[in-house]
Amino acid sequence: MSAHKIPVSVLVVVYTPDLQVLLLERADHPGFWQSVTGSQNPGETMLQTAIRELREETGLDAAHHGMADWGKQNRYEIYQSWRHRYAPGVTHNTEHVFGVMLPQPQPVTLAAREHLRYEWLPWREAADKVFSCSNAEVIRELPQRLKT
């Protein structure tokens, strides 16, 4: 595995038909809440990355719940405090958005190294709680996505 992270990642929003959203609190930044995220590994497709990250971070198996590629990408500047994880000179990341709908909120198994705890919140509260603007934006799109 490369010493540096690839500046391509996934954001996987896990939600229910009544618009409850799963959020995870980062272990390396307590108080920072987010959906499932993670960087692409060499040789993986974006879908493979999303499936792997969902399983690693929550214990959920996309084969049982389905994984939808939302066809959305966000490009953003990497926080200065996290740039050491990337090759010198890398300042931006491209995030690919996926969604997983569960029938109802359910317990998940956290990766202890990555997350402290999880919460299921109504979509508006979830959008307000996440630290990432792109994460908040896709959560706010949920009501519209369910209509299509």
In a domain, 16, yes or no: yes
* Residue 91 included in any domain: yes
pLDDT in tens, 15-59: 999 999 999 999 988 999 999 999 999 999 999 999 999 999 999
Across the range 93-121, mean pLDDT stands at: 95
- Report helix, strand or coil for 68: strand
The reported pLDDT for the residue numbered 2 is 56
CATH number of the domain within which 17 lies: 3.90.79.10
For residue 125, the enclosing domain spans: 8-147
Pair 38, 56: CB distance under 8 Å: yes
Q: Are 143 and 19 in contact (CB under 8 A)?
A: yes
Q: Is residue 58 part of a domain?
A: yes
- How many domains, in total, are found in the chain? 1
Confirm whether 3 is domain-assigned: no
Name the residue among 115, 103, 137 with its Cα closest to residue 18: 103
CA dist list (Å): 37 to 18, 97, 118: 22, 9, 14
- Percentage of residues in the chain having pLDDT higher than 90: 72
Confidence of residue 102 (pLDDT cuts 50, 70, 90): very high
**Is there a domain that residue 120 lies in?**
yes
Residue 2 lies in a domain: no
pLDDT surpasses 80 at 147: no
Reported as a single tens digit per residue, the pLDDT across 134-143 is 999 999 999 9
Q: Report yes or no on 13 lying in a domain.
A: yes
